[in-house]
Chain A
Amino acid sequence: MIWSLLRRRLWRSSALFGAILLATTGFTVLTGTVNTSRLQVTGEVDANFRGAYDILVRPKGARTAVENERGTVAPNQLSGTHGGITMAQYRAIQAVQGVEVAAPIATLGSTLVSNTARVDITDLVDRSKTRQLIRLDPTLLADRGLSRGVRASTYVYVTRRPLIGIDTAKSTGPTTYFTDGTAVPPTEYCDTGVLEVQEDGAKKRLCGASLSSWSEDYAGLRTPPFEVYGLLPDGRFSSDTSDTQYATDRLVVNIWWMTIVGLAAVDPAAEARLLGLDQALVSGRYLRPDETGEPAKKVRLPVLTAALPQIDETMRVTLATVDDDLVRAIPGTRSDVLHARLGKAGVAPAGTRTFEARPAEADPALETPLVIFMFVLRTGLPRYNTTADGTLRPVVSDAAPGSWINGGPLLGGGGTPSLIFDTAFRDIEVINREALLSADPVGVFDPAKLQGYSQLSRVPLETYRSPEAEGADPRSRELLGDRPLAPSSNPAGYLVSAPQLITTLAAVPGLLGAKAADNAISAVRIRVADVHTLDDLTRERIRRIAEEIGTTTGLDVDITVGSSLQPQTVELAAGTLGRPELRLTEWWSRKGVAVAIMDAIDRKSVLLFGLILVVCVLFLANATTAAVRDRRRELAVLACVGWPRHRLAALVTGEVAVVGLAAGLVSAGLAVPLSLVVDVPAGASQALAAVPLALLLAVVAAVVPAIQAARAHPGTALAPLVSPVRRARRSLTGHTVLSAALRNTRRRPGRTLLAAAAVALGVGAFTTLLTLTWVFHGNVTGTLLGDAVSLRVRAVDAVAVAATLVLAVLALADVLYLNVRERSAELATLQAAGWSDGALTRLIAYEGLLIGAVGALVGAGVGLFFVDRFAAAVPATAVAVTAAAALAGVALSGLAAVLPALSVRRLRLSTLLAQE
């Protein structure tokens, strides 16, 4: 009998089948998406939450106002933190239970190393000329070529005439003696030049092109180097004197410049455990923990040197040959006269050469492989002004290199690092002005070989990696040539490079003295033991350790585990060396990103799961109830002929169960291909698990109206379809189609409510889901990890939203379809009574629209309520989406009502009437 009922009432069975299939499949796909989304997020987070260290301890007060306000840790902050943590505090940190590694680092300051550009100009020499002058114009380029530090030109004078050098042994007084015995009294603007033997035998001095030196002439522009080379008959070049013993085949001019490198001290054992620094060596040996300097040898610090300088600094040498007319007159010309003439000289360009800054390395010219440094200087941290949009503007300091150049043992003149004249963003303090320090480079490490950590959860590791900042707007990116801005060696620059020299903490007392050394640690990076996933327990453990460190030492403690880099816009004022103003994106570590993401996905998953459950259950209940309501008359007849209530319930149950089971199985079968299409791993097992649930729900949803139908005295259902009018109402709108539609919706409130509930469900579910997804993505994006997570689950979330939309649309269509089908006889009667097709369609459309409007309003309200409840604020987009969804819901209601009405119209009138 059930089979006959199902088979003969195919449209009704199909509607129910479709509804259950949809609800089950929707449930499977949606829970699949939620699960997938959740798994992907937690997987991404678990794979990436851990940086090189979990907790960062800095001196008290080191955390800046900006960091506090934004929950971030600024990059490059170690460069300006010189000590502040005592050895006692460090030992207290080590003693905290659960600390696996506590690696201290002391930023000691910066020092100078020399670079030499060896410019081979042999090919520029015209061997046919007796005399020639080649000009080398060195320029230091930084900031991707935007900053130019101009240095004094170097003049190379090449002559085929014999040269007579100064007899330095005899020239101890004011008079200068030459090796041929010539004595020249002191001459203004010609103190040091050698003699050149002229064609007529006269000996004329080569005075150079130097003006008197001037204390403020840091770049040495008034005293350009003037080098004299003899071109020997055999084609070789001899320097200064005619002593051919040292003559060379190639004419190589050395232009040297100083770069500034950072010096930091670590505990070699802790550093090895934290980052595997010992494994990153490319040559030499690793530092020994107890290794100290040798005070007896002017503090020979044992150091590791970085294999790469990690600075953006290039020496560009522009070559040119000077006019012969001028060159001919050089012998015997006073240097001030020549200086003036050279300033206006005609030159022929002869190409350019560029030389990169080299890593600090031992000078092979010296007997012992030492890096010499002259002094240690300390740089402060940039200070910021904040603009209205949150952009940071580093405060410009006065560039006052003079204050620390003057008195430096070897600075001044051509040796001055030209880039220090650039606009300063940091204060500079010179310490250790007197000591002549030296270093013993025991090994070379390659920062790239340090233990790999997630790029997404990078923590500041500027000890080994120089900071970078990308252009934040097209103009800045174009200026930078689409490369990030990197530090030069200017210690007062906004970005400061990673230390190139790493020594041991044990050696610090020898450098700074015991008192200063005790307070030298700038930061302690801590790795917590047994951290594998970022679960609640682990988080709590890390928090407790951080808290204990904070309370026992009083230092500033930041939990960096689960932090991720977040872009921070920085507006860098123009520099005096030519760099225009730049808008940059710096990557600051935002703390607690992983936790926030996990919380967000947890909250979202719970909400979504609940939402999906509610949608599917209501949809199923709606569809089943509508299907059973359609059979009230049939059930009433059976009740009249003596069927007991439980049998009626069993009949409906059986019918729904058969349909439900079929739909569930088809749904399970569909799950596999569907999961392939939408890329959601919703397995058949998951779908099968949904089948009993769907069955149970369908049966419950079916039995309730069935029992209701049976409980009422059967006569009620058998009564002709003219409901008792409770009260004769005078229609305000008159007897129009619209008022008829209005009356109809009021006449059968149960049916109206059912359909309105379907619309409300669709609109509410869709807006809630879409907004939840939006809010989730909005909450997690903005950091590297968050963006990666967001990108990862975007497709899955899109599927969830689309599936909900489809479910909502079909739920609505299903209910409205059943609704109109249920009334087919009524419609046929109206048609028989003379209603035109148009009027009938309008009636149905109005009813659909009225129901849709009520449902959409309720749904939008519910949706916005949930959004308001779970999002921090209702975004304007959510309101817009809700409005759009509500409008769509109304339109859809009209459409879903009219389409079945049209199909009803096509049925034979007599058939419909006969059914009554």
Chain B
Amino acid sequence: MSDSTTGAGAKVRVAGLAKHYQGGDVRIPAVAGVSLEFAPGTMTAITGPSGSGKSTLLHLIGAIEAPDAGTITVDDVEITSVKRRHLTAYRRRVGFVFQRYHLLPALTALDNVIAPVVPYRVKFDKAARGRELLAAVGLAGRENSLPSQLSGGQQQRVAIARALIGAPTLLLADEPTGNLDSRTGTEILDLLAALRAEHAMTVLVATHEQHVAAACDRLIRLRDGEVVQDVSLAGGEHPEQTLSRLGGPRL
């Protein structure tokens, strides 16, 4: 399962998913009974205001956090019932891109990219693949730069390259452009979209920026942990247009 580079990406199904945080005596629901299905190879934007549960949903799907209730099934495997140590194997099939990049500051760009596969024996040449991916994200020649020597956009590109090193079938991007200016953000999204096609991944992007959704096939809006909108976007249609077409509230 780890090296499945063929196919059209992972099929993800979420059913009755719930997660809450305890804040003192107050129980704060982050995700409240969400049921969704993501077709292989699709790119979905998950939007909503701050605190609507976007990041939590991605963390749950990425098995970075455990849900209180509900199931997550990826390619017919119910990961919510998988033992913790097998989750590591699942996580290797998932690429994760964070808003804050989370690069290892002591490692070079190349080392950061190949960091996920360092513990494993893989069929490809790690350094070659790393360089390839860096080139793919437009950072050819910056292999030996330290994160502190790269701009925010460059760091996010490294993070994306890192997310791709394990040839994931599912890419989860949590506010990938949140720390970037809009031009750089657009570039990153275009990159993600291009990579999705190239690498045949299912992509989920959590964002509150409307232009992000433009690159996606589908838009899901969350509020207080619940899905309030779930629309498919026609190719080339601006999400604003779609939304107004559907009569929903403006973003």
Contacts and interface: CB of A to CB of B under 8 A. Distances in A.
Nearest to A711: B84
A637 B107 CA distance: 13
Interface stretch (A451-459, A513-521, A722-730): A722-730
Contacts of B146: 8
B95 to A, nearest CB: 8
B62 interface: yes
Contact of B166 (A7, A8, A642, A726): A642
A641 B115 contact: yes
Interface stretch (A189-197, A269-277, A908-916): A908-916
A43 interface: no
Contacts of B162: 641
A8 B107 contact: yes
Contact of B25 (A647, A716, A727): A727
Interface in B73-127: 85, 88-89, 91-92, 94, 96, 98, 100, 102-108, 111, 115-116, 118-119
Contacts of A1: 107, 111, 115, 118
Given A634-B104, A638-B115, A643-B116, A713 B65 contact: yes
Contacts of B21: 724
A642 B148 CA distance: 24
Among B24, B66, B88, B146, the most chain A Cβ lie within 10 Å of the Cβ of B88
A718 interface: yes
B166 A911 contact: no
Contacts of A915: 105
Contacts of A643: 88, 116, 118-119
Contacts of B108: 4
A543 to B, nearest CB: 64
Contact of B91 (A633, A642, A718, A728): A642
Contacts of B107: 1, 4-5, 8
B59 interface: yes
B64 interface: yes
Nearest to B88: A644
A716 B65 CA distance: 8
Contacts of B163: 641
A418 B41 CA distance: 128
Contacts of B24: 725-728
Interface in A626-647: 633-634, 637-645, 647
A631 to B, nearest CB: 10
B18 to A, nearest CB: 16
Contacts of B119: 643-644, 647, 650
B23 interface: yes
Given A5-B106, A725-B24, A640 B88 contact: no
B134 to A, nearest CB: 16
A724 B23 contact: yes
Given A5-B106, A9-B106, A713 B66 contact: yes
Contacts of A713: 59, 64-66
Interface string A366-391: 00000000000000000000000000
Nearest to B91: A642
A726 B88 CA distance: 30
B105 A640 contact: no
Nearest to B21: A724
A638 B24 CA distance: 30
Contacts of A641: 91-92, 96, 115-116, 162-163, 166
Contacts of A7: 106
A714 B64 contact: yes
Given A4-B108, A643-B88, A718 B102 contact: yes
B75 to A, nearest CB: 16
A24 to B, nearest CB: 25
A94 to B, nearest CB: 81
Nearest to B106: A8
A407 interface: no
Contact of A718 (B89, B98, B115, B118): B98
Nearest to A1: B118
Contacts of B100: 916
Nearest to B23: A724
Contact of A911 (B89, B102, B148): B148
A235 interface: no
B26 to A, nearest CB: 10
Interface in A2-34: 4-5, 7-9
Contacts of B23: 724-725
B198 to A, nearest CB: 20
Nearest to B2: A642
Contacts of A650: 119
A715 interface: yes
Contacts of A640: 62, 64, 91, 96, 102
B85 A644 contact: yes
A914 B103 CA distance: 11
Interface string B165-197: 010000000000000000000000000000000
A724 to B, nearest CB: 6
A8 B106 CA distance: 5
A514 to B, nearest CB: 100
Interface string A701-740: 0000000000001111010000011111000000000000
Among A641, A645, A725, A916, the most chain B Cβ lie within 10 Å of the Cβ of A641
A1 B107 CA distance: 8
A226 B124 CA distance: 132
Interface string A611-637: 000000000000000000000011001
Contact of B64 (A5, A638, A715): A715
B104 A637 contact: yes
Nearest to A915: B105
A726 B102 CA distance: 27
A644 B148 CA distance: 27
Contacts of A634: 104
A631 B106 CA distance: 11
A553 B108 CA distance: 91
Contacts of B85: 644-645
Contacts of B115: 1, 638, 641
Nearest to A713: B65
B65 A715 contact: yes
A914 B148 contact: yes
A346 B23 CA distance: 118
B105 A8 contact: yes
Nearest to A916: B100
Contacts of A724: 21-23
A720 B129 CA distance: 32
Given A1-B111, A8-B146, A725-B23, A642 B102 contact: no
A639 B65 CA distance: 12
B111 A642 contact: no
Contacts of A647: 118-119
Contacts of A911: 148
A9 B98 CA distance: 23
A727 B24 CA distance: 5
A910 B111 CA distance: 24
Nearest to A716: B65
Interface in A449-501: none
Given A4-B108, A634-B104, A715-B59, A642 B65 contact: no
Contacts of A633: 102
Interface of B: 21-25, 59, 62, 64-66, 85, 88-89, 91-92, 94, 96, 98, 100, 102-108, 111, 115-116, 118-119, 146, 148, 162-163, 166
Interface of A: 1, 4-5, 7-9, 633-634, 637-645, 647, 650, 713-716, 718, 724-728, 911, 914-916
11 contacts: A4-B106, A4-B108, A5-B106, A9-B106, A638-B104, A641-B166, A644-B85, A713-B65, A724-B22, A727-B25, A914-B148
Given A1-B118, A4-B108, A8-B146, 5 more contacts: A641-B163, A641-B166, A644-B119, A647-B119, A724-B23
The 9 closest A-B pairs by CB, nearest first: A8-B106, A642-B92, A647-B119, A641-B116, A715-B64, A644-B88, A642-B91, A637-B102, A715-B65
